Amino acid sequence: MAASEKADKAGAGEKKKTTGVYVYGIVPADLEPEQDATGVADGTVSVVAQGEIAALVSELSVDRALGTPEDLQAHADVLDGTARVAPVLPLRFGAVLSDADAVKEELLSAHADEFASALEQLEGKAQYVVKGRYVEKAILREIIDESDQAAQLRDAIRDKSEDAGRDARMALGELVSNAIVAKRDEDTRKTLEALEDLVESVNMRDPTHEVEAVQVAVLADVERQDELEKAVGQLAENWDGRVEMKLLGPLAAYDFVVTQKPDGQG
């Protein structure tokens, strides 16, 4: 057979490869996904095992672009659903390998000891996120009540046109912004103090909104979720009308053990 014919046949074979394996995370080898578990692009979730560890995967068309909000949500749903029943090491979004053999060799075998150790440390634990947002009117009233300068600036802009009160408005805005930063620091400290006996690790998150009061990720025993809920509920009661509190989880431990994509993809 001529070399050109061999190349043509090889090229034809490559063209037939239209699917890859999307990888969500690493789990113990004995994990069994729920039968109706679906992932990115409505793929059926399964496991590829190697020794004592496995990868959560689903089949994916290699021609399909990734990155829609639905893709990101499906990735998180698979991992968070798993975190409720077993330790899971999340991979960063978008990890795709050629086939199950590549998953075993390039991912699982290549990092077997590292993954097994991390899974052991995560046994029985999951991530929770504590979020709080100030009630805007309440926190502004609190700042003005506590600051003579803020009260004076508020009075200075009252009944004035936008142009006439521009400087005072800017000064008041800066004062309020600085006051919220200080209150956020103090309220975050109080939150961590309330949770310190219930959590193993803490990751402080940057605020995502100007009136955010608290946002921290914690690693805790899943068995202590009721205690976490009670502690956050007590904070919500203490801050009723001032801060709206909520607890998210159990989640995969994104803030603590997220691994890079395999084979240098990330």
| Between 210 and 13, residue with greater pLDDT | 210
Phi, psi of 157 (to 5 degrees): -100, -5
Instruction: Answer whether residue 10 shows pLDDT above 80.
Output: no
Query: What architecture is the 126-255 domain classified under in CATH?
Result: 2-Layer Sandwich (3.30)
Q: How many Cβ atoms are within 10 Å of 226's Cβ, its own excluded?
A: 8
pLDDT grade, residue 30 (50/70/90)? Answer: very high
Half-sphere exposure of 99 (CA within 13 A, CB side): 3
DSSP 56-99: EEEEEETTS----HHHHHHHHHHHHHHHTTS--EEBPTT-EESS
Q: Which of 32-36, 195-199, 262-266 has the highest mean pLDDT?
A: 195-199
CA distances from 23 to 75, 107, 236 (A): 9, 10, 38
Average pLDDT of the residues in 195-207:
96
Average pLDDT of the residues in 40-57:
96
Give per-residue pLDDT as tens, 179-188: 999 999 999 9
Instruction: Answer whether residue 262 shows pLDDT above 90.
Output: no
pLDDT value at residue 166: 80
Residue count of the chain: 266
Instruction: Answer whether residue 264 shows pLDDT above 70.
Output: no
Q: Where are the alpha helices (DSSP H) in the chain?
A: 3-16, 69-83, 100-102, 112-122, 136-146, 148-157, 166-195, 225-238, 254-257
Q: What are the residues whose beta carbons fall under 8 Å from the beta carbon of 205, sequence distance 6 or more? A: 129, 215, 216, 217, 255
Q: In what order do the strands lie in the sheet with 201-204?
A: 201-204, 212-221, 125-134, 243-251
pLDDT grade, residue 5 (50/70/90)? Answer: low
pLDDT value at residue 35: 79
Average pLDDT of the residues in 139-164:
85
Q: What angle do CA 231, 235, 239 make, to 5 degrees?
A: 170
pLDDT value at residue 257: 85
Numbered ranges of CATH 3.30.70 in the chain: 126-255
Average pLDDT of the residues in 152-178:
83
Give per-residue pLDDT as tens, 221-243: 999 999 999 999 999 999 999 99
